[in-house]
Chains A and B, each alone.
Chain A
Amino acid sequence: MAKVAREMVERAGVNLDQLVELLVKNASAELTTFYYYTILRVNLIGLEGEGIKEIAETARIEDRNHFEALVPRIYELGGNLPGDMKVFHDMSACPPAGLPTDPTNIKAMLAVLVEAERCAVRGYTHVCNLTAGKDHRTYDLSLAILNEEIEHESWFSEFLGEGPSGHFMRRGETSPFVSKFLR
């Protein structure tokens, strides 16, 4: 635990217990999404599915990166991950991104993917709102994750034909915003 770092956040008026709980729930959402996206990606086949596979894979890897980036902050703030993986799964901040009943229905697959990303966008906006101007490190981390989640949402949203975003697929390394927390 980073004692002084924790004190600074507390003195700034942040409810540390609530913040740590939120970070753990979001870490759970990231790791469980990484798992569920693995199943979705495997099933993204055929003429329509193959076109979405690459962005689903990028989102999957970046969600795992988000989990990795969140964990040190949780422990810095005096929190911890549950010892029981089942407990961790069930405390996720977002619903499971489960495989649709008909995995050949690509629109249904995209609906699952975009809904998962929208949950994440709302969740990190919430954390940013709670920490802005108070907990600079958590804010910086949450903002970096938020930037990537917004891009994920845009990718899937465009495949659903909801409108253009101007975003491109990744060129080169994954996690352009979060990578600084992974070094």
Chain B
Amino acid sequence: MPLRQFTLDELAQYNGENGAAAYISFLGRVYDVSASFQWQNGKHQVVHKAGKDLSSELAEAPHGADLLARVRLIGELGTEG
């Protein structure tokens, strides 16, 4: 099944707040972190928020991208808006 395509605006709707699903993007891929303990209410370690492209933030995180294997890959982030 082809992956769903997201724009940054669409991704922003999935911020985990008020019952919304929590999606994050890393290096062009979009992951559903709604079920992750570490992403409750769309926040991770207080400072990181869902609904965004976190490629640059993950580079400074105290863990690698390997932890993304624990969450579901659901789409790809397009280059438009």
Please, how many residues of chain A have a CB less than 8 angstroms from a CB on the other chain? 15
Cβ of A32 to closest chain B Cβ, rounded Å: 12
A to B contact number (C-beta, < 8 Å): 24
Judging by beta carbons under 8 Å apart, are A21 and B46 in contact? yes
Judging by beta carbons under 8 Å apart, are A18 and B47 in contact? yes
Q: Which of B46, B60, B62 contacts A122 (CB 8 A)?
A: B62
Interface string of A1-33 (1 = CB under 8 A from B): 000000000000001001001100100000000
Asked if B79 is at the interface of the complex by the 8 Å CB criterion, the answer is no
Cβ of A70 to closest chain B Cβ, rounded Å: 15
Main secondary structure of the interface of A (DSSP, over half): helix
Alpha-carbon separation in the docked complex, A94 to B37 (Å)? 8
Judging by beta carbons under 8 Å apart, are B46 and A18 in contact? yes
Interface string of B37-66 (1 = CB under 8 A from A): 110000001110000000000001111000
Chain B's interface size range is: under 10
Interface centre among B45, B46, B63 (most CB of A within 10 A): B46
Residues 120-164 (chain A) with a chain B CB within 8 angstroms: 121-123, 125-126, 129-130
- Contact partners of A130 in chain B: CB under 8 A: 47
Q: Which of A15, A93, A95 contacts B45 (CB 8 A)?
A: A93
Q: Which of B46, B60, B62 contacts A25 (CB 8 A)?
A: B46
- Contact partners of B61 in chain A: CB under 8 A: 126
Q: Which of B37, B38, B46, B62 contacts A125 (CB 8 A)?
A: B62
Alpha-carbon separation in the docked complex, A170 to B46 (Å)? 33
Interface string of A103-131 (1 = CB under 8 A from B): 00000000000000000011101100110
Alpha-carbon separation in the docked complex, A22 to B60 (Å)? 17
Judging by beta carbons under 8 Å apart, are B46 and A95 in contact? no
Alpha-carbon separation in the docked complex, A18 to B37 (Å)? 19
Interface string of A68-106 (1 = CB under 8 A from B): 000000000000000000000000011100000000000
Interface residues of B (CB under 8 A from A): 37-38, 45-47, 60-63
4 smallest CB-CB distances across A and B, nearest first, come from A125-B62, A95-B37, A122-B62, A22-B46
A/B interface sample: 24 pairs, CB < 8 A = A15-B47, A18-B46, A18-B47, A21-B46, A22-B45, A22-B46, A22-B47, A25-B46, A93-B45, A94-B37, A95-B37, A95-B38, A121-B62, A122-B62, A122-B63, A123-B45, A123-B62, A125-B62, A126-B45, A126-B61, A126-B62, A129-B60, A129-B62, A130-B47
